[in-house]
Amino acid sequence: MKLKSLVPVGRERVAPSAWTDPFTALQQEVERLFDDFGMRVGPSSNGRAGALTPRMDVAETDKTIELTAELPGLEEKDVQVNLADNILTIRGEKSAKSEQKDKNYHLVERNFGSFYRALELPPGVKGDAIQASLDKGVLTVRIPKPEPSVTKKIEVKAA
């Protein structure tokens, strides 16, 4: 499997392999940099955009690709995993509430927002065989690897 096939693809962006025009590629890369910068602005502990993007690990075995994403405090109903055109998307909504009481004050903060991660999978992945489970705030997605393609030699004949 090519590592390039697991390059994250962001919101409404095309995969790098689809770029043909160098100026379009440059423009999309600059837009990606600004999008990524905007996602990381603000302290990650207060629920702002930087904290909404889940951390994800990708591991590979002989037969599967395994994605794990940290989604603390979320339940199955809060997370969606979809596959379309070899792009696996993980979407969800996080919300958090903190409350502090003391003699002189009462502070309640609520943070909420949605997140989105996308990965381009290798060609030939069967969507029906993908499994996803959420256990103690960790989403695990198991993707069976596609069978290796077989090269068939075609005989060239004289015209």
Please report where in the chains the tokens 């997605």 appear, as a residue. Answer: 141
pLDDT(120) > 70: yes
Residue 3: per-residue pLDDT: 47
Please tell me whether residue 95 adopts helix, strand or coil conformation: strand
- What is the domain count for the chain? 1
Closest residue by Cα to residue 53 from 37, 34, 65, 66: 37
Segment among 12-16, 26-30, 53-57, 64-68 with least mean pLDDT? 12-16
**Does 157 fall in a domain?**
no
Which CATH number does the domain housing residue 135 bear? 2.60.40.790
> What is the DSSP track for 13-45?
---GGG--SHHHHHHHHHHHHHHHHHHH-S-GG
Residue 20: per-residue pLDDT: 64
**Does 60 fall in a domain?**
yes
Please report where in the chains the tokens 């996308």 appear, as a residue. Answer: 118
- Check residues 52 and 107 and name the one with the higher pLDDT: 107
**Does 154 fall in a domain?**
no
**Does 156 fall in a domain?**
no
**Span 18-30, pLDDT tens digits:** 556 777 888 888 8
**Does 44 fall in a domain?**
yes
Domain extent, residue 25, equals 3-144
**Does 100 fall in a domain?**
yes
- The C-alpha atoms of residue 34 and residue 29 are separated, in whole angstroms, by 9
**Does 103 fall in a domain?**
yes
Backbone angles phi, psi at 94, to 5 degrees: -110, 145
Closest residue by Cα to residue 115 from 80, 140, 76, 141: 80
Residue 121: per-residue pLDDT: 87
pLDDT tier, 149 (very low <50, low <70, confident <90, very high otherwise): confident
Considering the entire predicted model, what is its pTM? 0.57
Q: What average pLDDT does the chain have?
A: 78
**Does 155 fall in a domain?**
no
12: left (phi over 0), alpha (psi -120 to 50) or beta: left
Residue 31: per-residue pLDDT: 81
Residue 132: per-residue pLDDT: 95
